[in-house]
Structure 1
Amino acid sequence: MIETTVRSERPKSRTTTADSYDNIEPWFDELAELDAGDAHRLVMRNKVLQLCMPLADHIARRFAGRGEEFDDLQQVARLGLIQAVDRFDVHRGSSFLAFAVPTIMGEVRRHFRDRAWSVRVPRGLKEIHGRLGAATEVLSHRFGRQPTVREIAAELDVDLHSVTQALVARNSYRAESLDRLTQVEGQNTPLAVLDSLGADEPCYALTEDAMVVRPLLAALPDRERHVLTLRYFGYQTQAQIAEHLGVSQMQISRILSSTLTKLREQALGECSEPRRI
């Protein structure tokens, strides 16, 4: 028969209060005595994790309000707790709390550095960004005002350009959804961000075309430029232009065709094909 009786739920030598983990080491003493394949070892490990779970949740709450959902931070912190429990060596003499806190906090910080950015930012800038908050708080307390970028750079012992880039990169940390509702001036009901954005203005393309063509028109011979002006700005027909200039309509048609072809080739950089004679 397989023994199902669980050992005493807690070592009798010490007691552990709800808000202290100073006496958690006796649990690790018992864990160290059990073989890796012992079924009771898994029960003991789960019990230690259950006892220390409030520690992970407390650290997760310390990082809340920085753009990440608390549930995500809680999961990351608890993963760090699992790593701390599995790696802790009671024979080294240090307390579990002294080992677990930096282990859990390191896991949460790595999450912010590697996973919480909406766009890719160089690792060096992420690390500087992670130090900005503490440095700004220290300098604000020291000077009684918000510190300058140069003062932050001196406090962190990094160059001014890197601090500036880290401050700019802060805008890349969290991207807002285009479906997020926002209040637009003059509107009674909120609109999605996408609906409040401006649209492409068709006149912009016309303006760009005009800027390209203007010097080309100025370089045309007077006669060709005059014909184009009468046709497209004076809105005259080819027959009216021919009568005005005393030439045939066929000549006006040829002038317009050749002039427009030349302008198109110059504006678009096209190579004209050899003309057939």
Structure 2
Amino acid sequence: MNTRRTTAGPGPAAAGPPPGAAVRRRALGPLPEIERPTRASTDEARDLSVALFGRLRELEEGTAEYSYVRNTLVELNLSLVKFAARRFRGRPEPREEIVQVGTIGLIKAINRFDPSRGVDFSSFAIPTVVGEIKRFFRDTSWSVHVPRRLQELRIELARAQEELEQRTGRRPTRTELAGRLRVSEADIVQAELAHHAYAADSLDAPLTGEDADDPPARAAGRATGVAEPAYGLIDDLVSLQPLIARLDDRDREILSLRFVHDLTQAEIGRRVGLSQMHVSRILTRVLDDLRTGLLAEDTHPTAP
């Protein structure tokens, strides 16, 4: 999936040659042309996105003008995809592949976003992007690491089981399967375990049928831990720690009062002796600086 264009051509949501100047002019209307959307700063991307979403609502879906505006929105907000991809940097999948999948989530977020609700687009898009990446892992990953030899044997075992069952009219034994595949019975057992690793049942699945009436099963269900959303924030918090350490005392205090003690901006202003508007400007500046620091891929600060 190509997520870049030379100047202002189509992004990942479109195909074909870059649109001509006439199409770009009709697409943007009164808005100025954006030469390099992927290089826009955080503030520029936010302001331009608001204007482009307004323009998108005026255009007819399916037209070249609509596609151009949507593609520009994708490029303006690719930093959100990179930000979300950082959470999965420990995965074995290539980072480029994760970003490509996340870009699909970004396109879905753009298609579903309703500016009239007064919600910031980045707050709306991040959960959609993260959800798309997690769905990709869930659909393509093994439950546990399994050697490739056993992955291949699992496929051969399934074929042999089907062939022998059709021939004999019954389920084949492990001895018969081992003879058919010319492997040991121990290999057959390992291949069966590999099958369960690939198609493991979810621990979050509700108990049904006989399991629901089985006291040990009910006890196991109660003892199973639930997904903790905060776990997904650990990577981000570790990355934020050195960035927060660079803030001055006042900025750190205001940040703590807002997000640790959950005070409103007016309450913070009374606490530190500033106006609510001044506190709002400080929070906006600090959060933008932290976000820029997290997105700086070539910077790896060392925590004190």
For normalisation by structure 1, the TM-score amounts to: 0.41
Larger RCO, structure (CA 8 Å, separation 6 or more): 2
The TM-score normalised by the length of structure 2 is 0.38
- Rg larger for: 1
